[in-house]
Structure 1
Amino acid sequence: MKVYISADMEGISGVVNNEHTDRNGREHDRARIWMTEEVNAAIEGALDAGATEIIVNDSHGTMRNIILESLNPAAKLITGSPKRYSMVECLDETFDAAIFIGYHARAGSSGVLCHTYTDSVEYVKIDEKEVGETGINGGVAGYYGVPLILVSGDDVLCNEAKALIPGIYTVEVKKALSRNAALCLSLNSAHSLIRTTVKEALFHKDNIKPLTFNKPVLLEVRFTNPAYADAASTIPGVKRIDSKTLTYMCDDYLIAFDAFRSMINIES
């Protein structure tokens, strides 16, 4: 059994502030340790369930956060950036299941450190429904027929995932109190819960359907500033709806994903 793990940082227990998530933040090195430990817990759960190959994709910021010398040697690590498919690099039809660790809620929600790929995005809609990184990246897994079976993060993220994917397993490692505050599980408790829930999710992975969207795929991106939309509107096929909102339509989800990544990259 081949398992894919995409790991972000904002949804890790204890992480609540930019001092944790920013590369030059005073508490970033602590957060890197916490992130690596939660990933290891997921790896251990996958091994308990019989996984024979595990690929971990470091999906936060510069994508050089997971501490390789501390990573469970049963897994391989995708590290560094840029990567063509970013948070879902190397995910394809050869995987049996996908797991998202340390994810956060979508932009505009009440989740800890919520955003959607970048703080310049006000919202993203697919098929007229707001989605965050769980939905956007989960759609890539679904494109390849791979079910997204588990996410971990705060309570807002968990509820977002449940509304999107029937039957998905969630691990709530903290409860959002504000954008920069949370009621967090102890690290050991978070690790134990992740390990046992990953194992259970993999045992029941066939009960969870891959996330797919209607064809043609209708992507809508609203930026926080018209200047960002000015830049992104130069991409071929993109239509401008108003000063801050762009749409893109195509039959292939992976092309729509590429268009979204291009929009947010060109504005930066």
Structure 2
Amino acid sequence: MKVFISADIEGTAGIAHWDEADRAHADWAEFRALMTAEVVAACEGARAAGATEVVIKDAHDSGRNLILDRLPDYARIVRGWSGHPDGMMFGLDEGFAAAVYTGYHSKAGSEANPLAHTSNLRISRLLLNGEVASEFTVNALCAAGYGVPSVFLAGDRGICAEARAMVPGLATAETLDGKGSATTSISPSWSRRLIREGVAGALSGDFAQALPVRADCYEAVIEFNNPSDAYRAGWYPGARAHGPRAVAFAHADYSEILRALVFLKA
């Protein structure tokens, strides 16, 4: 059994400030270690459930956050950004049994995490078929395109609730909850225990149906903070203006939505 892990940092237990997610700031060293520890816990849970191989996508910022020497010998890691439309899911294919998500966070416009965003801080909201979407929304649909179920997510309370509503049977571990610029978090050690046990339990059950509902056609709308970003994105083939600060793109093939997002949000 092969398991894919997409690892972010803004939903890691204990995090509360952008400095802690920024490799240029001294606080990042502590939180890259905590991010790594949560990924290792997910690996251990997958192994306990019978995984023979785990592929990890370091999916935060530079894609170079995880402390490599702490990863188990049955893991492979994808670092950096290839430019492939799969983005945070790059490395996934039809050969994987399941996808797992760690360190995930609430979507842009949410108050559930002071670090809430979607892709980058120039985007005020991303909508998919009229619903405000998170990075998990985009990535779970990406996995579903390969026929890979999304079985477990660890992150803030907001993204856990959204993920459970989107994917039937998906298990979660709530690491923190945000109010204003503050977070209330469980301890990192408790988070690692929940992740380890949660992944093991999810992969030991019947998870084949843990797939989001797919639509016949998709429309992505990106609302930017700055109208100049919308103007630039509007030059992508097939894109159109959608108000003074937004651009829209529609296609029946979700992989074309992913391709468009690479350029629209750049």
Q: TM-score range by the shorter chain?
A: over 0.9
Give the drift of 1:26. Answer: 2.0
TM-score under structure 1 normalisation? 0.95
Match of 1:69 in 2: 69
Match of 1:239 in 2: 240
**Does the 8 Å contact 1:149/1:208 carry over to 2?**
no
Match of 1:146 in 2: 148
CA offset digits 1:217-247 (Å, max 9, x no partner) = 1111111110110110010000112111211
Match of 1:27 in 2: 27
Match of 1:229 in 2: 230
Give the drift of 1:206. Answer: 2.5
CA offset digits 1:172-230 (Å, max 9, x no partner) = 1112233x321111121111110000011111242533224312211111111101101
Matched, 1:182 2:178: no
**Does the 8 Å contact 1:127/1:213 carry over to 2?**
no
**Does the 8 Å contact 2:144/2:212 carry over to 1?**
yes
Unaligned runs of 5+ in 2: none
CA offset digits 1:232-267 (Å, max 9, x no partner) = 0010000112111211111211111110121011xx
TM-score under structure 2 normalisation? 0.96
Match of 1:170 in 2: 172
**RMSD of Structure 2 on Structure 1 (CA):** 1.2
Indicate the percent of aligned positions where both proteins have the same amino acid: 33
Give the drift of 1:161. Answer: 1.0
1:92-171 counterparts in 2 under 5 A? 92-112=93-113, 113-171=115-173
Moved over 3 A (4+): none
CA offset digits 1:35-55 (Å, max 9, x no partner) = 000000000000000001110
Aligned residue pair count: 264
Q: 1:82 to 1:111 in 2, by over 3 A?
A: farther
Unaligned runs of 5+ in 1: none
Q: Partners of 1:93 and 1:74 in 2: how far apart?
A: 19
1:43-62 counterparts in 2 under 5 A? 43-62=43-62
Give the drift of 1:82. Answer: 4.1
Give the drift of 1:87. Answer: 0.5
AA paired with 1:3? V
AA paired with 1:142? A
